[in-house]
Amino acid sequence: MSDLLNAVLAGATPDELAGLEMPGSYRGALVKRSEVDMFAGMESSDKDPRLSLHVEEVPLPELAPDEAYVAVMASSINFNTVWTSIFEPLPTFGFLDRLGKEGPWAARHALDYHVVGSDAAGVVLRTGSAVRNWKVGDKVTVHCNYVDDQDPSAHDDSMLAANQRIWGFESNFGGLADVTVVKANQLMPKPAHLSWEEAAINALCNSTAYRMLVSPNGARMTQGDKVLVWGASGGLGSFAVQHVLNGGGTPIGVVSSPEKVKLLNDLGVEAVIDRKAANYRFWSDEHTQDESEWRRFGKDIRALVGAEPEIVFEHPGRQTMGASVFACKRAGTIVTCAATSGYMIEYDNRHLWMKLKTIKGSHFANYREAWDANQLVCEGKVLPPLSAVYTLEEVGEAAYQVHHNLHEGKIGVLCLAPTEGLGIDDPELRAKVGEDRITLFRRHGA
């Protein structure tokens, strides 16, 4: 490892870091253009990230004026890394090639390898000449909204920008690496009471759930709202239920095991449905949905909380959307950001229009939303749902766990951090928030 990265590990001062040379190359988790057909003809579930994700030394790209190099202490697995590693729905090299056409700096991204990862916590190593708000040595987390601020459409809500991208998915040089290259407007302060791996897992899923529920751009949740949350102990869901509880609402979590029910109860979510135990058959065959099963689901929700949910937090997609539209209250909102089980959606439109419901699309978060969501983590008001930790070398196995829904909450990945538990700068706040609460998912997953 380079002197600079060793110095980061040793806790060097900003001056010491500034005086050392940047390494010429770094370790990154990547997929290869030459392998995009390796799973051709296989079922999604058989496509194995352990075969397609490699950890290799790659050259360090040059730094653009609006960018920063960050030494990544820890990162996390997001579902987008699963999509990239199984080359579904499309290989991500198409995104890199399109980005590469935007100009000389963008051209750096169009390579025959794609360093993945859309979360990171670490230390700023260098800033470009146009960066004002950050300096060498700053401890940061990184959000994944990658936006060109010279695009006029970015200046209302940067998620509306024509060339908005997700860093480490639609751009190269992602966070599952020892060094990452990010735009300065992706940086946010690291929560001082958290370890590197606890700090690294929040930005993507927390910001997404925040926009979907709390931000004026989302479902505009208010006090007293009942919110149905699919996958409530998963990456998005474990943040969503915390936002509902913090906002004075009642989450109804849906999960698939008694262990997950218990975890959510421990987090403070009283109303939880075990969808496996309930054995809902929303689809009687591949083409037909069964309204009587939607009704049974709705009845189970009312039995728990006494009414229909004003908001449904959707992301499973094809398997659940019919039930979500049906179960939502009159004039309620189904807010969706994904379609894990299939993106060709079917629902009964009569239940939407006759009851004046809205389906709202949502995607990640703008800088302001990501910053506000990060602030809640910094203040200990949102807990990090870290359930398991892998090393960078084990990134394929970590992605496999997420691909097969074998995890709870979020999986952290140690990049430069040699062990868990490092990087806690504010033990007083940690004690105030509560060690037991901060480590709830980790103790559960252990």
Query: Whose Cβ is closer to ligand NAP: residue 111's or residue 212's?
Result: 212
For 436, the 3-state DSSP assignment is: helix
Q: Regarding beta strands 67-76 and 120-127, do their DSSP bridges make them parallel or antiparallel, or are they unpaired?
A: antiparallel
Query: Whose Cβ is closer to ligand NAP: residue 109's or residue 143's?
Result: 143
165 is an interface residue for ligand NAP by CB under 6 A: no
- Residue showing tokens 């939303």: 369
319 is an interface residue for ligand NAP by CB under 6 A: yes
Among 267, 337, 377, 383, binds ligand NAP (CB under 6 A): 337
Least CB distance from residue 26 to ligand NAP, whole Å?
26
CA atoms of 154 and 308, how far apart (whole Å): 37
Burial class (CB in 10 A: 0-12, 13-18, 19+), 33: middle
334 is an interface residue for ligand NAP by CB under 6 A: no
Query: Whose Cβ is closer to ligand NAP: residue 65's or residue 342's?
Result: 342
Considering only 2-10, 123-131, 289-297, 335-343, which stretch makes contact with ligand NAP by CB under 6 A? 335-343
Using CB under 6 A as the criterion, what x/- string covers residues 352-381 for binding ligand NAP?
-----------xx-----------------
Asked whether the beta carbons of 107 and 61 are under 8 A apart, the reply is no
Least CB distance from residue 413 to ligand NAP, whole Å?
14
CA atoms of 205 and 395, how far apart (whole Å): 19
Among 73, 241, 255, 328, binds ligand NAP (CB under 6 A): 255
Q: Which amino acid is at 337?
A: C
Least CB distance from residue 409 to ligand NAP, whole Å?
7
The residues that bridge with 175 in the sheet, in sequence order, are: none
What would the two tokens of residue 8 be? 């980061």
384 is an interface residue for ligand NAP by CB under 6 A: no
Considering only 78-86, 157-165, 171-179, 291-299, which stretch makes contact with ligand NAP by CB under 6 A? 78-86
Query: Whose Cβ is closer to ligand NAP: residue 184's or residue 232's?
Result: 232
234 is an interface residue for ligand NAP by CB under 6 A: yes
Least CB distance from residue 97 to ligand NAP, whole Å?
22
CA atoms of 121 and 138, how far apart (whole Å): 11
Q: Which amino acid is at 196?
A: W
Query: Whose Cβ is closer to ligand NAP: residue 316's or residue 396's?
Result: 316
Among 260, 357, 430, 442, binds ligand NAP (CB under 6 A): 260
Using CB under 6 A as the criterion, what x/- string covers residues 185-214 for binding ligand NAP?
-------------------xx--x------
Asked whether the beta carbons of 5 and 178 are under 8 A apart, the reply is yes
> Which secondary-structure segment (H or E) carries 238?
helix 235-246
Query: Whose Cβ is closer to ligand NAP: residue 325's or residue 416's?
Result: 325
Residues 6+ apart with CB under 8 A from 428: none
Residues 6+ apart with CB under 8 A from 80: 116, 118, 166, 168, 169
44 is an interface residue for ligand NAP by CB under 6 A: no
What would the two tokens of residue 254 be? 């849906």
CA atoms of 303 and 166, how far apart (whole Å): 40
For 187, the 3-state DSSP assignment is: strand
158 is an interface residue for ligand NAP by CB under 6 A: no
Asked whether the beta carbons of 128 and 65 are under 8 A apart, the reply is yes
Least CB distance from residue 19 to ligand NAP, whole Å?
39
Among 80, 171, 289, 324, binds ligand NAP (CB under 6 A): 80
Q: Tell me 115's DSSP state.
A: E
CA atoms of 35 and 294, how far apart (whole Å): 42
CA atoms of 257 and 223, how far apart (whole Å): 29
399 is an interface residue for ligand NAP by CB under 6 A: no
Binding site for ligand NAP (CB under 6 A): 78-80, 204-205, 208, 230-231, 233-237, 254-256, 260, 275, 315-316, 319-320, 337-338, 340-341, 363-364, 402, 405
